[in-house]
Amino acid sequence: MNTQTVTVGKKVSFGGFNIPVISGPCSVETRDQILTAADCAKEAGATILRGGAFKPRTRPESFQGLGLAGVDLLCEARDATGLPIVTELMDVRLLDEFLNRKVDLIQVGSRNMQNFDLLKELGKTQTPILLKRGLAATLDEWLAAADYIASGGNEQIILCERGIRSFEYSYRNTLDISAIPALKARTHFPVIVDPSHAAGKAALIPSLAKAAIAAGADGLIIEMHPNPAQSWSDAEQALSAQDLSSLIHDLKKVALAVGRDIS
């Protein structure tokens, strides 16, 4: 099936010849951290900035994110670098705040893939949506979740494979690489891959990222932190700016090998 393009910000398109890389830290932590991260991401060749302001943490005592203050810092980083931003919306009551701040790409996280009231509200907007696959969601269920958004009138949807839960315990999740060609045959929505959450370990990310491009992914979302060891969350899976830069360099070669380019 032909893939439609979804444009984020003014000029970053998913679903065409170019393969954008989204990067940035797991969480927005401080003004300095996110501004530095944005510079690093841009410098390395990423074209969209990620950063969690509302964090879906398993335990209530874990750091829950800076909230709207974090979104504001992302906006400031956007202004400074020109990079569009993506961040996760968990609470439907905050949608207007996201729209007011013109978040360029609103992420629906794995745990909310079937938060149908949230999906319905997002369907009424015209903002591009990054819909992550649920941890144990079938492709049928994932596409049905996208239909909740699309049937409301918003077809600006990007699907993100981020690993499924399996019995293997030596990595955080199991990247389902087969989902890429299987989705391509069934939907016109672009499909991107999050190797960071799939792996949960920085050392595995380059292989998974290259595999994703080779398998036909339309984009990547990769966690990078200016100082990985001091990351407030998911430190084990964060690349350094240097690692990211080097990885994007390598990814370009793989992209060219399959007739595309990273950009």
Interacting residues with a second copy (CB under 8 A): 56-61, 90-93, 111-112, 114-117, 120, 135-136, 138-141, 144, 147-148, 151, 164-171, 174-182, 185, 198-199, 203-204, 206-208, 210-216, 250, 253-254, 256-258
Which is nearer to a second copy, 80 or 143 (by Cβ)?
Answer: 143
Least distance in angstroms from the C-beta of 157 to a second copy: 13
Which is nearer to a second copy, 43 or 258 (by Cβ)?
Answer: 258
How far apart CA 255 and CA 253 sit, in angstroms, is: 5
How far apart CA 96 and CA 98 sit, in angstroms, is: 5
Which is nearer to a second copy, 31 or 201 (by Cβ)?
Answer: 201
Which is nearer to a second copy, 207 or 230 (by Cβ)?
Answer: 207
Q: Are strands 129-132 and 12-14 parallel, antiparallel or unpaired?
A: unpaired
Least distance in angstroms from the C-beta of 83 to a second copy: 26
How far apart CA 251 and CA 10 sit, in angstroms, is: 24
Q: What angle do CA 39, 44, 46 make, to 5 degrees?
A: 85
Which is nearer to a second copy, 32 or 91 (by Cβ)?
Answer: 91
Q: What are 260's two structure tokens?
A: 């595309």
Q: Are 175 and 207 in contact (CB under 8 A)?
A: no
Least distance in angstroms from the C-beta of 89 to a second copy: 10
DSSP state of 133: P
CA-based nearest residue to 194, from 127, 110, 101, 255: 110
Least distance in angstroms from the C-beta of 152 to a second copy: 8
Least distance in angstroms from the C-beta of 155 to a second copy: 14
